[in-house]
Amino acid sequence: MKIKLWPDLVNWPLEASVLGDVITINGEDIDLSGIPDGFRLPGSAVGNKFFVDTEFVERIGKKLHFTLRLPVHWDSPEEYRNPSEPITIDVRSGPVKFPDTSPVVILAAELPEIREGQENGGLEQA
């Protein structure tokens, strides 16, 4: 399967695995074996919220091609929120390894301890 990813600002968990022409998304089996070579159907016909309604599910040769929504956050890495080229994953069998779209964590600098009763936070004039 060739899966194109469509970044979408949603708060949905996404786990998937592939076995033959069946993709399991968050525990729901979606059997795409009925799509013959050279045919396609709209993503909306699949009936799963992760399939992009306006994109097609199609078989080219023996490989299925389709587009799934990739959940991102407002503070996910820029390359996943707004990729310059579509992100495509080629999956033969097993778990689908989606990019880690977790928000970027920036560690705060450690601030000095301020004790009660200290003027100016304990700073001294030079």
Query: Measured on CA atoms in the order 55, 57, 61, 63, is the torsion positive or negative?
Result: positive
- Any idea where the domains of the chain sit in the sequence? 2-122
Other residues' Cβ atoms within 10 Å of the Cβ of residue 72: 22
Segment 30-73, tens digit of pLDDT = 999 999 999 999 999 999 999 999 999 999 999 999 999 999 99
Share of the chain above pLDDT 70, in %: 84
Model confidence at 106: pLDDT above 80: no
Burial track 10-39 (b if 16+ CB lie within 10 A, e otherwise): eeeebebebeebebbbeeeebebeebeeee
pTM for the whole structure? 0.79
Reply yes or no on whether the pLDDT at 122 is more than 70: no
